[in-house]
Amino acid sequence: MAASMYIVVEGEDPGFDIFVNGRALARNEDAVEKLALRLGVKPLIEFFSADENSMSLLIEEGAGNRELMQKLPPPQWYSARDGLVTVEALIAALENEPQQLGSEGEQVLSELLEYRRVLRKTEQHELRWHLAVSWR
């Protein structure tokens, strides 16, 4: 099963494309988290929140527990600016040295650029966001 870390924007339809691949970020989450901590920014995984829709998808994909659905806290939403602080710091650190994350450094950088595009739009529309995970 391949995991993907993707962006969820608050509301039904934010009015712009929020698609991000997120597979390389999911595969390299531990290394990306360590890099964020070295840079003194909040790791991406700390922006994770499970909402009912995300959990329903996980259960459909065989990666969740139906009983947990009853105990889910309300989703947490974060400001786009807070996410951009992390994403922009990671991009700056990887632009000249993507190999510090190994062979997938270029792909992680590419996905971070997608994250930045979506978070900038999210900020422009004054919306909030969180990360979700999908397994396929």
Instruction: Collect all residues with Cβ–Cβ distance below 8 Å to 29 and sequence separation of at least 6.
Output: 5, 44, 45
**Residue 104 above 90 pLDDT?**
yes
**Contact assessment for residue 80 and residue 120, using Cβ atoms and an 8 Å cutoff:** yes
Q: How many domains does the chain have?
A: 1
In whole angstroms, what is the distance from residue 85 CA to residue 64 CA?
A: 31
**Residue 29 above 90 pLDDT?**
yes
Q: pTM value?
A: 0.85
Domain housing 34: 3-135
**Residue 31 above 70 pLDDT?**
yes
**Contact assessment for residue 30 and residue 120, using Cβ atoms and an 8 Å cutoff:** no
Closest CA to 44 of 2, 1, 6: 6
